[in-house]
A and B are shown apart, each in its own frame.
Chain A
Amino acid sequence: MFYRENGQYKTSYGADLALFPVVQDRWAMLALALAAFVAIPLLASNYAFHAVLIPFSILAMAAIGLNVLVGYCGQISLGTGAFMAVGAYAAFNLQARIDGMPLLLALLGGGAAATLCGVLFGIPSLRIRGLYLAVATLAAQFFVDWFTNRVAWVTNDSASGSVSVGTLSMFGYALETPAQKYLLCAALLAVAAVLARNLARGAIGREWMAMRDMDVAASVIGIRPVHAKLTAFAVSSFIVGVAGALWGFVHLGSWEPAAFGIDKSLQLLFMIIIGGLGSIAGSFFGAAFIVLLPLLLNHVPHWFGLPLSTATAAHLEHMIFGALIVFFLVVEPHGLARLWATGRQKLRLWPFPH
């Protein structure tokens, strides 16, 4: 009833190509954007910014990047943490070594460095696929772990191997309050989401999906595997690299190589599997699930004043979280995004289903 598309005619090519063809969707998106860019910065508490919103937006961005590669192009990657690390360390070096480097340029530079690294480690994908490729990208993870740990100039010769960034500023304004930092992350996230969505539904995205669904058939009809796979690696690593730079610069402030270890790679892979492969909304759902749920579980005993010991609460959190992952994958193997799509479909008929 509320979600009915009757009478919405597409009368121009532009309307047919619109990002959100349904009016209700457009309004919902507008409301969401208003909430994200106006309401939340005004209302949210400090804790919400630092512990919830900033990590969520950064990881959602990284998940979008990974989804381009895994969800749209079908190339499984276990090296996401490595590409994040490359982005973060490259951005750090740009800022540390070049005086007066603008923050945005440093972040994008981090993305560019990650792109190079991603394309390099994407080359094996031309010969191997599936699980074997996953193992090959694992090599990227280990290599970058080793590189950031052992090569002194990467950390600007920091004795402890840990690096830290100075004050952040953009266009002459210092980014000090958590709301400002959040807005930076949210803006970049929005750009990444629109970019990925538009790429995915354009010619290049069709190439990726053809490659994902059957690479032999795709190359028979004239899609160049080299081009399709490497562009997917490039776009994916760029977004992941910028997310990594944000993770280091905005969320942690100072970090050590362990911040971008194999755990991060697996965490991101779980995010898109649970959220939904090949869906931008799925990246958001997945990031929300992985970032927010443990926090929520962690807070629950406090809200009810349960006298649980810290260790018990931590173990319970892991157990419940694991159980929920299994539950959601059993109920909806295509991820939370599919659950959402089903819900939308039902809403179209509500309240008079046939």
Chain B
Amino acid sequence: MFHRKFALTAALAAAGMAAFIAPAPAQAQAAEQFVPLLVYRTGQFAPLGIPWADGKQDYLKLVNARDGGVNGVKLAFEECETAYDAAKGVECYERLKGKGTGASGFDTQSTGITFAVTDKAFADKVPVVTPGYGLSQSVDGTVFQWNFPLLGTYWTAADVMVQDIAKKEKGNLKGKKIALVYHDSPYGKEPIPLLQKRAAADGFELSLFPVTPPGVEQKSTWLQIRQQRPDYVLFWSAGVMTPAGIREAQASGYPREKIYAIWWAGSDHDVKDLGAGAKGYNAITIHNSAAMDKVHEELKKHVYDKGQGTGAAGSVGSLAHTRGMMISMLQVEGIRVAQERFGKGKTLTPEQVRWGMENLDLNADRLKALGFGQIMRPVKTTCANHMGNDWARIVQWNGSKWDMKSDWYQADQKHILPLVQELSAKYAKDKNITPRSCS
């Protein structure tokens, strides 16, 4: 009896192993373009990750349902759960990079995973699309051929926040105290070099307050802030850390009007439960957070009314969901541009999609046609500039919804460009990359 059981277990184990080790059989594919979806629906960042993932998938579904894909090429997609863990993210990347005609581009949703995947992308020739996050120096397309930190990086965000503060202070920041409360990870540390430069240039005093992930325990941080009374607090947080931080700010009596949060900490779910407690809380955004546009109506009509929606209908229109749709839209437009060059109605290799991402030109009319006219500003990428245009604005929570508080800002390249050049040159040197010529 035992032997049979033992043999059975062994056979099952062997079969399981074999299924892993053996190369997957090549499947006959219809004309489909594969878009990998790295998501985190579990873990410390799940509150942000869920609507974001829903938005990404919803837009792909919308393109398939409304237009029948991109010029007739259906978009295929598969989700892979990373739980914001770099090792799991690498596994997902390896799993999805070769699907179909090759993965059209990875939106890793995590700075840590972006770091790990960036190195591999050079060898695998797969685009890494990181709108509003990722490596700030990867704006430089001559070195970072495969990275696309579209629409903004943490450096441009920090710069815009300082600009808005300077405006409130009538242009003079001398002697002011600005604190950075950040998630103690590459994500939270990313803005520090830029802020240090600006502190030196503008004469304000920068103090740093790291918060140990996941950031549910921030009492001591905010007590320190009460002691030191900084004039403004920049808040680099995400997931469960955000409401916990706002609550502590409230408890220690720090005015929420003086807090500026990065876009990942400025979504509806971050403040909704706090309601009036978060009133006055500022956040920067790469898109018109509050706006509902044509794309939302179409999504409702073509996807949600047919019962095909990914998430709850209630989350459509929330900031994180809209941002997810925007990210998918940028990827889909990259594919469309690439198709115009390499053949309409054809499936593309990741290398061809990369060309498309590099030659994006979404003007106001095009955005309007796509249903994003009110949501975002035109963007144009080039070979050397992989970010495009970094428009951002400040929104404020009024207790029940986000109000637009500022006009569109653009970061001051005087501070950002030297940093980008310095750090991308360093990366090129460390990795033995010869920067390509863009002329």
Contacts and interface: CB of A to CB of B under 8 A. Distances in A.
Interface in A152-169: 159-162, 164, 166-167
Residue among A162, A255, A343 with the highest chain B CB neighbour number at 10 A: A162
Contacts of A161: 185-186, 189
Interface in A121-156: 149
A52 to B, nearest CB: 5
Given A164-B115, A251-B90, A45 B23 contact: yes
Nearest to B49: A311
A180 interface: no
B21 A52 contact: yes
Interface residues of A, number: 47
B94 to A, nearest CB: 4
A166 B21 contact: no
Nearest to B94: A50
Nearest to A264: B87
Given A46-B98, A47-B94, A254-B118, A310 B432 contact: no
Contacts of B90: 50-51, 251-252
A146 to B, nearest CB: 9
A227 interface: no
B298 interface: no
B81 A313 contact: yes
A129 B87 CA distance: 33
Contacts of A166: 430-432
Contacts of B175: none
A351 to B, nearest CB: 8
A231 B346 CA distance: 63
Contacts of A55: 87, 91
Given A40-B21, A160-B111, A311-B41, A259 B423 contact: no
A254 B116 contact: yes
B115 A162 contact: yes
Residue among A166, A167, A256 with the highest chain B CB neighbour number at 10 A: A256
B308 interface: no
Nearest to B37: A310
Given A52-B20, A167-B431, A314-B81, A160 B86 contact: no
Interface string A22-44: 00000000000000000010011
Contact of B115 (A43, A51, A254, A313): A254
Given A254-B116, A256-B115, A310-B41, A47 B87 contact: no
Residue among B39, B95, B186, B430 with the highest chain A CB neighbour number at 10 A: B186
Interface in B75-124: 79-81, 83, 86-87, 90-91, 94-95, 98, 111-112, 115-116, 118-120, 123
A48 B81 CA distance: 18
Residue among B20, B83, B118, B431 with the highest chain A CB neighbour number at 10 A: B20
A48 B16 CA distance: 12
Contacts of A310: 39, 41, 53, 79-81
A296 interface: yes
Nearest to A294: B88
Contact of A51 (B95, B111, B213): B95
Contacts of B189: 159-161
Nearest to B190: A160
B42 A48 contact: no
A176 B17 CA distance: 25
Contacts of B94: 46-47, 50-51
Contacts of B91: 50-51, 55, 295
Interface string A157-191: 00111101011000000001000000000000000
Nearest to A315: B42
Contact of A164 (B19, B24, B119): B119
A216 B94 CA distance: 51
Nearest to B78: A302
Contacts of A176: 123
A159 B185 CA distance: 11
Interface string A304-343: 0000011101110000000000000000000000000001
A47 B98 contact: yes
A254 B119 contact: yes
A201 interface: no
A10 B245 CA distance: 71
A350 interface: yes
A255 B116 CA distance: 7
B192 interface: yes
A51 B119 CA distance: 16
B21 A252 contact: no
Interface string A256-281: 10110000000000000000000000
Interface string B1-15: 011001000000000
Contacts of A254: 115-116, 118-119
Contacts of A164: 115, 119, 430-431
A142 B290 CA distance: 42
B376 interface: no
Interface of A: 40, 43-48, 50-53, 55, 96, 149, 159-162, 164, 166-167, 176, 251-256, 258-259, 292, 295-296, 298-299, 303, 309-311, 313-315, 343, 346-347, 350-351
Given A255-B115, A296-B16, 7 more contacts: A45-B24, A53-B21, A96-B430, A162-B111, A162-B186, A259-B87, A314-B81
18 contacts: A44-B23, A48-B22, A50-B90, A159-B192, A160-B111, A160-B135, A162-B186, A166-B432, A251-B90, A252-B87, A252-B90, A252-B116, A253-B119, A255-B116, A256-B86, A311-B41, A315-B42, A351-B3
7 tightest CB-CB pairs across the interface, nearest first? A45-B23, A311-B41, A160-B186, A50-B94, A162-B186, A310-B79, A253-B119
Interface of B: 2-3, 6, 16-17, 19-24, 39, 41-42, 50, 53, 79-81, 83, 86-87, 90-91, 94-95, 98, 111-112, 115-116, 118-120, 123, 135, 184-186, 189-190, 192-193, 210, 213, 423, 430-432
